Structure 1
Amino acid sequence: MRKGVTFLTTLALTGVLTLPVTAQDTPSADTVVASVDGTDITLGHVIVAFSTLPAQYQQLGPDVLLPGIIDQLVRQTALAQSFEGEPSRAARLSLENEERSVMAGEAVEATMATAVSDADIQAAYDSRFADGTAGEEYNASHILVETEEEALAIVEELNGGADFVEVAKAKSIGPSRENGGALGWFGPGRMVPDFEAAVISLQPETISGPVQTEFGWHVIRLNETRVVDAPALEEVRDEIQLELQQIAVTEHIEALVASADVVLPDLSDLDPASIMNLDLLRN
């Protein structure tokens, strides 16, 4: 299946991208930056193209990107004008998908713009930090080994009086071994769930039994805990707003789908591998 022309595929475009662009005091999205056989390319087209570039291209700087994007849009326009006949089925379906995606994005932006008020943010902040704190943080160390048997032997060794730091340096396979297993301070959500649950269950200056995670078997020592003061509202305003917006968008989408007349035919006879059959687009 044919793919669309990628922006700036030849960028660095070796410095040959020196299309003259006339500076204007008050440019707008309608400012014409090029014309191909009467078809205008505007600054708005360039801005949209820039916004979809991969991050590595966006770092090149506007002095390089402006003429580079214009050059690519000129090339695309010339190619599009040269096409004769009807677009292929793949092209038509691609355009339908693109329009669906763009309009869905517009709907999301519209929902996010009106979904959350300052009062909503304040209420969420007050609820999250009702006691004036941001909860507890934990300072822990661990010894990571490959098997439960090794972990059990280490627990026995530590219970017999061995120094945790020295055992960690000698036997841990984790990157923290050089620090005697020390992990420093961390809050909820920073560690994998089983590890975090084991830490929370401990009293300061005690060790856990073997704890299994995707990384191996851990023996954990909780060194100490501390209560963290709540941040000021302005420090977390953007974070809270985004969380509330995401909730609102999810609820809005679910409500739309629930109220829509969605028909899902029986696909039990459809081979899932058919999604990879590009030959179907040539029929």
Structure 2
Amino acid sequence: MVRAYFQRSAMAVAASLFLIGSVPGVLAQDAGDDSVVATVNGKEITAGEFDFIADQLGQQTQQMTPEQRKETLTTMLVNMELVSQAATKQGLDQSESFKKQVEFLKKRALQTEFFRKNVDEAITDADLQAVYDEQIGALPVRQQVKARHILVKTEDEAKDIIKELDGGADFAELAKEKSTGPSGAQGGDLGYFGQGQMVPAFEAAAFALEKGKYSEEPVKSDFGWHVILVEDKRDAPKPTLESVKDNLRAFVAQQKFQTLLDDLRKEADVKIPE
């Protein structure tokens, strides 16, 4: 339910944060460290530049060792500088195509900085708590059951198993011996599950049983015939604030950014021809 709620906002997030990237991506480190990591034809490449590109490509280098990461990023910066110098010698920095790209990237960088300053840094723990309380804390309590089952091919087989249970047979041992389902080896243990996780007929029968009771009549599904034992019932635990914090932060960021965009549009003279 929680995942579905945030998925409904996915399109809005994508539209509002277009060209900004994910929240971690905009938290680029300050390229202020001027210690030199490489020199290309006299042009120094600083640690600040290294840290900046490392932050931008963080996810792509996560699986590398520190040595591999350093070598890869340094090589990338050196190659960029080599190509940049060659392109400048060819006068490509004066082309209209280059100027358009620079202008576009400048706007993108400004948008990123605007987001960082006015949205990301403006999100507080109180914002996250408020959305959690409203959207998750207020969700209705849903019940879960902990059950075992024995799956067989025919109704008669299921009825025979019920007779054995009536005679005092152990449910888990019968499941290991006779169940054709994948949980048979674990004594038919299905663990806890909530509504909507099992096929309808099985779910209805399981939730109708009292704790400690097994089905008195076989339950039919597309898989065969079931005998069900309900071992426990409980209220489903809600996700913690910490476990959904990233989703909450993205949702709050979208809300804040959209509000800022709306305000900017109200104050601006925007004309879009038909």
* TM-score (norm: length of structure 1): 0.51
3-state SS of paired residue (2:219): coil
Contact 1:115 1:248 in 2 (8 A): yes
Asked whether the 8 Å contact 2:143–2:235 carries over to 1, the reply is: yes
5 Å matches for 1:66-81? 66-81=70-85
Q: Please name the residue that 1:209 is paired with.
A: 219
- Give the alignment partner of residue 178 of structure 2, picking from 161, 170, 194: 170
1:115-130 equivalences in 2 (<5 Å): 115-118=123-126, 121=129, 124=132
Amino acid at match of 1:140: A
Match of 1:140 in 2: 147
1:192 aligns with 2:194: no
3-state SS of paired residue (2:38): strand
What does residue 277 of structure 1 align with? none
Contact 2:150 2:188 in 1 (8 A): yes
Indicate whether 1:181 and 2:188 are aligned: yes
Aligned to 2:233: 225
**Residue type of the partner of 1:224?**
D
- The Cα of 1:125 is off from its aligned counterpart by 5.8
Cα deviations across residues 171-208 of structure 1 (Å, max 9, x unaligned)?
4342x321122133x4659x836579655454322348
Number of residue equivalences:
220
Taking the aligned partners of 1:75 and 1:69, their CA distance within structure 2 comes to: 10
Change in CA separation of 1:238 and 1:54 when aligned onto 2, cut-off 3 Å: closer
* Other-structure match for 1:7: none
Give distance in 1, aligned partners of 2:258 and 2:38: 43
Task: Please show how residues 83-94 of structure 1 align to structure 2 within 5 Å.
Answer: 83=87, 84=90, 85=92
Cα contact 2:115–2:257 (8 A) shared by 1: no
Give the match for residue 82 of structure 1: 86
1:239 is matched with which residue?
Answer: 243
Q: Give the aligned CA root-mean-square deviation in angstroms.
A: 5.3
- Give how far 1:223 is off: 1.6
Long gaps (5+) in structure 1: 1-26, 266-283
After TM superposition, the structure 1 = structure 2 runs for residues 88-103 of structure 1, keeping only pairs within 5 Å, are 100=108, 103=111
Closer/same/farther in 2, CA of residues 246 and 39 from structure 1, 3 Å limit:
same
* Residue 48 (structure 2) aligns with: 44
Cα 1:76–1:152, aligned 2, differ >3 Å: closer, same or farther? farther
The code of the aligned residue for 2:124 comes to: V
* Farther-moved stretch of structure 1 (247-256 vs 42-51): 247-256
TM-superposed deviation, 1:139: 2.1
* Shift in Å, 1:257: 7.3
Q: Which residue of 2 aligns with 1:107?
A: 115
User: How many angstroms does 1:140 deviate by?
Assistant: 1.9
**Structure 1 pair 44/156, CA: closer, same or farther in 2 (3 Å)?**
farther
1:242 Cα shift? Answer: 3.8
Give the distance between the partners of 1:218 and 1:262, measured in 2 at CA: 66
Q: Secondary structure at the match of 2:119?
A: helix
Q: Unaligned stretches of 5+ in structure 2?
A: 1-30
Deviation at 1:209, TM superposition (A): 3.3
Residue in structure 1 matched with residue 16 of structure 2 by the alignment: none
SS of equivalent to 2:33:
coil
Report the identity percentage: 16
